[in-house]
A and B are shown apart, each in its own frame.
Chain A
Amino acid sequence: MEVSWALVANAVIAGLLLGGFYAAMSVGISISFGMLDVVNIAHPAFIILGSYIAYIVNDRFGFDPIVVAVAVSPLFFLLGMVLYRIYYVCFERRGQESLRGLAFFFGILFITEVALVLIFGVDYRMVSTRYGDVTWRAGGVDFPMRLVVPFLVSMVMVIGVQLFLTRTFFGRAVLAVAQDQLALRLMGVNPVRVKELAFALSIATAGVAGAFLIVIQPVQPAIGREFIGLVFAVCVLGGMGSILGTLLGAFVLGLAESFTSTFFGPSWAPAVSFGLLLATLAFRPSGILGR
């Protein structure tokens, strides 16, 4: 195949745009796994759930999926609170999180996927947006709006989360709970409550990211499982629990996948994320930035 400047440039742009979106998908894991040490492998299930909710409303009423997702995010927030309560009472409090907590989240992931199959079937679903077919061109390089718009909103969301964590009292309580729960208690803050709300936030970001996903590509229930590797890869690459690290890891992954897709074909893309995850765990478990 001819390797032209345009081909490479397009791969880079697509990789960066996707990377921004991957950061939005993974920021929740940075919180739940990186900071709270909760292994929520059901995270992609909530992303897909968000995709389908955006699809239903878009299909029925024609509203923009991203607007829908933001409007519906409080529901995801509540769902996250309930889920964390169950997790805490049944597993974390009893020290059973490594085996049974993991099985629990797997069960949630599984139930979500099968329920979606029962309701919607296995066909791919997509949304129609005003900008979905628009592509800007600049110097031989394509900027498809279906990637650009989610990229921009993803950046807003990720930076928003970072600002929330570093500038607000509650956000800093979340950062603190990751390090020293006893100190928090002594300050009169209930660490369980903090974790509950932080976890709820992570689920809310997943729901919103789901809308971004379905703008970018068609969705079917099983693709959630393929994203597990991706979100954990981004989190580990970025050094666990650092939002900036997540951003960096997401861009690296986006670029790697984009180049693999361009030069080896798109079917190998899921292998890239898992492969990078395994390689990082094997050789540099503290991530790119390293702690």
Chain B
Amino acid sequence: MSNKIFAVVTLTVAIALAAVTQLIPNEYFFSAAYTVLLFVILATAWNILGGYTGYVNFGSAAFFAIGAYTTVFVYNAFKAPLPVGIVAGTLVAGLAGLGLGYLTLRLRGVFFAIASLALAVVLYIFIVNWDYVGGARGAYVIQPREIPFGLPRYIHLIYAVQLVMAAIALVVARTIERSTLGRGLAAIRDDELAAECSGVPTLKLKIFSTMVSCALMGMAGTTFPYYLSYIEPSSAFSLSYAVNSIAMPLIGGMMSWMGPLIGAVLLGSVQQLVQVTVSSAWNLLIVGVLLVLFVTLAPNGIMGWVDAWRRRKGP
């Protein structure tokens, strides 16, 4: 299936789903689905740099928060509507990824990983001290009273927006995966030195991969302030984003675009269930344990099992 056809199919499915599911009577569905879709975007984005290129980013929360807080900023400064916030948040997060990559990708992968963690910590301190976007007290974002498409509540709209953004993220990931760029990234992941000596401009590709990955993670965060009409640092920088963006691609499978999707839908749904029955701390513990179990025992994830089963069945 060519890239264009896949894009059309995915976006059509997304829009169709968005329309049809509006009929679901249970209001809780929309906020649960919103969260799961948030993780689909985050996991898919993380995997572009993680699974495809082999560089671990511990600072997903930072880029998610950049997306969220950019939306808040343009709202406060220009009373800008949601689409502007989405574009701005994605761009700023992409630029931040470019900066991080440019500074640290000449070094070993481990230093990039630590630097990404550092970014999350430092950015958190910065936001907490920045009153224009609310600081530690948090900021309010007023949901517009008039909701487009005649939808009953605002959550219905941002759920639909999130569906479309998830489709976009999947299209971007798949396009990269199957392109020449994707082959170059895979070569970098398998053996960076050999890739460089095979003509792959490793630094350029790594920086580009980082930029795209971080931009998409920011995109995931742009609707977040509208989710509860309120945002404050500890929820925007929640540890849940850091661990889930790693665990979901790992559990689903890091080699293809389907892995993060599967991991996010499965793990995300499980977490939504667990969260209403048990506390959120237990929820995170389960995710952490699953991460460790999968990375030691089933490092190729669910897609890995599928591939192995397919290979055993024979050609």
Contacts and interface: CB of A to CB of B under 8 A. Distances in A.
Interface string A218-237: 00000001101100100000
Contacts of B114: 41, 228-229, 232, 277
Contacts of A90: 295-296, 299
Interface string B110-134: 1101110111011001001100000
Contacts of A229: 114, 117-118, 121
B107 A86 contact: no
Interface residues of A, number: 37
Contacts of A108: 292
Interface in A228-273: 228-229, 232, 267-268, 270-271
A254 B246 CA distance: 33
Contacts of B291: 103, 106-107, 110
Contact of B299 (A39, A100, A110, A232): A100
Given A102-B56, A268-B125, A274 B118 contact: yes
A143 interface: no
Contacts of B119: 274
A110 B121 contact: no
A62 interface: no
Interface in B143-180: none
A86 B296 contact: yes
A285 B107 contact: yes
Contacts, number: 111
Interface in B191-229: none
A99 B50 contact: yes
A111 interface: yes
Contacts of B246: 103, 106
A33 B117 CA distance: 17
A114 B285 contact: yes
A186 interface: no
Interface string A95-128: 0101110111011101101110110000000000
Contacts of B103: 278, 282
Contacts of A114: 239, 281, 284-285, 288
B217 to A, nearest CB: 17
B125 A278 contact: no
A275 interface: yes
A182 interface: no
Contacts of A225: 117, 121
B121 A226 contact: yes
B295 A104 contact: yes
A289 interface: no
Interface in A271-291: 271, 274-275, 277-278, 281-282, 285
Given A111-B289, A111-B292, A278 B56 contact: no
A275 B285 contact: no
A96 B297 CA distance: 13
B250 interface: yes
A283 B243 CA distance: 31
B282 interface: yes
B56 A111 contact: no
A229 B58 CA distance: 12
Given A117-B281, A226-B121, A267-B125, 9 more contacts: A99-B56, A99-B189, A106-B56, A106-B243, A107-B289, A110-B239, A114-B281, A114-B285, A229-B117
30 contacts: A90-B296, A98-B108, A98-B110, A99-B50, A99-B109, A99-B189, A103-B246, A104-B292, A104-B296, A106-B291, A107-B247, A107-B289, A107-B291, A108-B292, A110-B284, A111-B285, A114-B285, A117-B281, A118-B285, A225-B117, A228-B117, A228-B118, A229-B114, A268-B125, A270-B122, A271-B121, A274-B115, A278-B103, A278-B115, A281-B111
